[in-house]
């Protein structure tokens, strides 16, 4: 306890000496974030920092101003360390013009989020931020995501972290995410400073396959540890096992011989129609399914000409109807915002 109080006093003194407007808790949060960035984000990679609208208006007593000051302080530290290429995104910066920044693939995201209104909902704000980020050509749902919840919430800490994970998965099938959230469930034992819990979730860890059903606290930042996470382990381990336990993956196929060929269909014991496909591209998918113990479920055939089929198959990804669209797609920059391309498996030469 004496050590914790000593650290708490040092943080207060540091804030006064440097004439910073950060509260003791925000300063300690910044130390924790700096440790996470150094320990988990690779040098020379790109980092995008997102935060909600700024309603501070220069009034330093408002909680939102403390949040904005935290973001400024973290950005200053990242810039001073010079390890990462930084991009900043705010809702009011949304532009329909395509710039070079929109074509730069982002490897890491830090999403600061807080309610924009006094009684606003944090999840609604997060959804708005995600939709804004997803509109850019640089959007990368396979990047590392660190969601920083800056304010304590009336909901239990673990439930709030689960709701954030569910939102990230529902909006863009994001798995590689860590939630940093103040532990409002515990009593404040370090003056007015919360401990900060770090949560994530693991697909295929439960019978629900890839749907988030529970989160795991993988680390903590405690005030008596000088802002360092309790463990030195990576916060972003590989989450996809080699055995997918028979979980299904839905595939929308645009038939084009000899690449994608509908061979037959039949009714199974449940009365559902099962479609079977073969062909040059399908073989790669079936080999992958066999190697990973994954069940491929083909959606009903798509009507129309080949162009209409490929567009329809691609749209099933954006609506969440399927996880894979297959149809002899070229590696095309226009389609990148809609889906992640596989490694090129067939090469054609055009003149």
pLDDT at 185: 66
Q: Are 131 and 86 in contact (CB under 8 A)?
A: no
For the chain, count helices (H), then strands (E). Answer: 7, 12
DSSP state of 62: S
- Cβ atoms of 277 and 230 closer than 8 Å: no
pLDDT for the residue numbered 187 = 56
Phi, psi of 49 (to 5 degrees): -110, 125
pLDDT of residue 78: 83
Confidence (pLDDT) at 18: 42
Bond preceding residue 258 cis, omega within 30 of 0: yes
* Concatenated DSSP letters of 85-129: EEEEE-GGG--SS--GGGGSPP-EEEEEE--SSTT--HHHHHHHH
- The span from the CA of 96 to the CA of 100, in Å, is 13
Q: How far apart are CA 176 and CA 189, in angstroms?
A: 32
Structure tokens at 246: 């028979």
pLDDT of residue 13: 41
56-62: list long-range contacts, CB under 8 Å, 24+ apart: 60/21
Residue with tokens 């269909």: 265
Per residue in 59-118, pLDDT (tens digit) is 444 556 778 888 888 888 888 877 678 888 876 554 444 454 556 789 999 999 998 776
pLDDT at position 312: 94
Q: How many CB atoms lie within 10 A of CB 292?
A: 16
| pLDDT at residue 17, as a whole number | 37
CB 55 within 8 A of CB 64: yes
Q: Is 27 exposed, middle or buried (0-12, 13-18, 19+ CB in 10 A)?
A: buried
Q: Are 202 and 213 in contact (CB under 8 A)?
A: no
Q: In what order do the strands lie in the sheet with 295-298?
A: 295-298, 248-253, 324-326
Give the span between the Cα atoms of 9 and 11, in whole angstroms: 5
pLDDT on residue 1 = 44
pLDDT digits (tens, 9 = 90+) for 322-337: 999 999 998 887 777 6
Q: Do 292 and 240 meet the contact criterion of CB atoms below 8 Å apart?
A: no
pLDDT at site 261: 96
Q: What token pair was written down for 266?
A: 């039949």
Domains with residue ranges and CATH for the chain? 2-225 (3.40.50), 248-335 (3.40.190.10)
Q: DSSP code of 223?
A: G
The predicted structure's pLDDT at residue 63: 55
Q: What is the pLDDT of residue 15?
A: 41
The enclosing H or E element of 348 equals none
**Token pair of 99 as six digits:** 């710039």
Positions in the chain whose pLDDT score sits under 50: 1-19, 59-61, 94-98, 100
DSSP label at residue 299: P
Do the Cβ atoms of 339 and 139 come closer than 8 Å?
Answer: no
């Amino acid at each position: 306890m004496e050590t914790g109080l000593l650290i708490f006093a040092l943080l207060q003194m540091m804030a006064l000496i440097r004439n910073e407007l950060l509260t003791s808790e925000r300063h300690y949060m910044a130390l924790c974030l700096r440790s996470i960035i150094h320990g988990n984000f690779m040098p020379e990679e790109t980092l995008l920092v997102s935060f909600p609208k700024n309603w501070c208006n220069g009034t330093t007593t408002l909680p939102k101003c403390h949040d904005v000051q935290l973001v400024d302080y973290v950005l200053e530290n990242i810039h001073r360390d010079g390890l990462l290429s930084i991009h900043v995104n705010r809702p009011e910066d949304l532009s329909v013009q395509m710039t070079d920044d929109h074509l730069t693939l982002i490897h890491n995201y830090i999403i600061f989020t807080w309610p924009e209104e006094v009684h606003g909902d944090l999840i609604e704000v997060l959804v708005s931020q995600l939709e804004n980020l997803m509109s850019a050509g640089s959007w990368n749902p396979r990047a590392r995501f660190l969601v920083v919840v800056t304010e304590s919430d009336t909901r239990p800490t673990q439930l709030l972290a689960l709701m954030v994970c569910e939102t990230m998965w529902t909006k863009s099938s994001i798995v590689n995410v860590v939630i940093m959230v103040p532990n409002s469930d515990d009593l404040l034992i370090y003056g007015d400073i919360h401990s900060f819990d770090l949560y994530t979730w693991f697909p295929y860890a439960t019978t629900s396959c890839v749907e988030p059903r529970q989160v795991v606290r993988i680390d903590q930042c405690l005030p008596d540890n000088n802002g360092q996470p309790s463990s030195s382990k990576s916060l972003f381990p590989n989450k996809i096992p080699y055995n997918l336990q028979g979980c299904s993956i839905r595939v929308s196929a645009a038939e084009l011989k000899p690449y994608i060929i509908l061979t037959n269909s039949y009714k199974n014991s449940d009365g559902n129609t099962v479609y079977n496909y073969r062909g040059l591209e399908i073989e790669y998918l079936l080999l992958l399914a066999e190697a990973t113990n994954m069940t491929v479920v083909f959606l009903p055939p798509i009507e129309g000409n080949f162009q209409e089929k490929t567009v329809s198959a691609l749209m099933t990804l954006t609506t969440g109807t399927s996880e894979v669209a297959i149809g002899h797609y070229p590696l095309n920059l226009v389609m990148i915002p809609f889906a992640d391309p596989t490694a090129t498996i067939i090469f054609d030469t055009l003149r």
